[in-house]
Amino acid sequence: MYNTYTLKNGLRVVTEKIEYLNSVSVGVMVQNGSRNESKEVNGISHFIEHMFFKGTDKRTSKGIMEEIENVGGQINAFTSKEATCYYVKALNTHLELSLDILSDIMLNAKFDPDEIEKEKGVVVEEINMSEDSPEDVLDDAHSKVCFNEDELGYPILGTIPLVKSFTREKILKFIDEKYTPFNSVISICGKFDDKELEDLLNKYFGEWKNDNKYKPEYSKTEIQVGSAYVKKEIEQLHISLGLQGLPYGDENNYALVLLNNIFGNGASSILFQKVREELGLCYSIASYLQPFQEVGTLNIYAGLNRNYGEKALEVIDKEIKLFSKNGITNEQFQINKEKIKANYILGLESTSSRMFSNAKTFLFRNMIKTQEEVIKKIDNISKDDIQYVLKKCFNNGILNAAYVGQDVEYTKLDSIILKNVKAYDNSDISGKQKL
């Protein structure tokens, strides 16, 4: 059973009661991520996520973790391009403790200057670790070429020089601007008493005051055409290809999910069967969706021997064109409706996954879609919807690409998939500097 309401201070609440469980997941999601940053403070949202756990007037950093872990619960957070979420999962008997700690870290964090300096070292090491991961480097490189100077192209972690430049004043100013009750949602899923929960929310979050009614507005973002190459001394060539996608909340996303299921999601997909199973060109290949506000991409990832790069791209480019031209059969259409319904339902089997889903939908769309409504949307996907998405997303082919590896003749790779496009060469970028 779903319920939504708003506290007097403007904080929106979405709840989903599941009586047969003995657990509860609580999350506070803020509509703020790397997309909401200026170039001068890129990475500050992620840094703030770290700092909220570094102590309050009431609790030490260790105490925050200890109080939840001592009752068998879990506490964590994440920062994405468009949102940051702080959450706890625990037995339902510890609902008040969960709300107490979440409100304490978000409303009473000390931001001690010594802790800020110490945490800079931690985040720098996180960036270093990311630089050691070809997939992470690839993702940042592809975002940069896909969105160019738009904030969506910024790395979530920021850069080492920027992280080192963060001060207590910058942090507090950013929080005052971006962290407001009007810009946030509390999502609770599991077993709880409605009246008790509302009283607890008012007790712990009712005093969250901010006169700033900040609400992000995103400019029209165009997907760029081009490519990026990052030289890295690794054995494999990592490739990321970008096609036109659909924005978050677009009704045609259900049709796109269905088509992506057939084309590149899973071991029975066209890409996996053709590129890996039939030709043995790679170990890993998949396509996936990245829907954002007002814009979206459909990405293809492959990790393979660099000697197979040209052949793999020829096959991928050919399969995209065939898929766009030939579409899908009636059998594929019906089978994959059932598959995405099953994937959707199985993906909501934990209270935390349901809590995240409810929080995101309510935060960005100010509404909740019940499971029944989503299933109905999937059942109602039409052949016209499929044709629309094929034309919109697959017909134009590959728009941009990124490559990570060594001794890569990326201009040859570009010539296969990107016609008359000037490559954006980042091979001279080394050390710890992010793209």
In DSSP terms, 242 is beta-bridged to 299, 400
**What residues have CB less than 8 Å from 372, skipping those under 6 apart?**
none
Residues designated as active site: 49
CA–CA dist 411, 389 (Å, integer): 30
- Strand (E) or helix (H) holding 420: none
* DSSP SS3 for 6: strand
CA–CA dist 33, 127 (Å, integer): 17
**Residue 416 identity (one-letter amino acid):** I
Find the distance separating the first CA and the last CA of the chain, reported in whole Å: 45
Say how many C-beta atoms besides its own lie within 10 A of residue 238's C-beta: 25
Sheet containing 295-305: order of strands: 284-292, 295-305, 236-244, 400-405, 226-231, 424-425
Measured over the CA atoms of residue 135, residue 141, residue 145 and residue 146, the dihedral's sign is positive
CA–CA dist 137, 135 (Å, integer): 5
DSSP assignment of 177-233: HH--GGGEEEEEEES--HHHHHHHHHHHHTT---S----------PPPPEEEEEE--
Say how many C-beta atoms besides its own lie within 10 A of residue 111's C-beta: 19
User: Nearest Cα to 53, choosing from 98, 108, 114?
Assistant: 108
CA–CA dist 232, 427 (Å, integer): 8
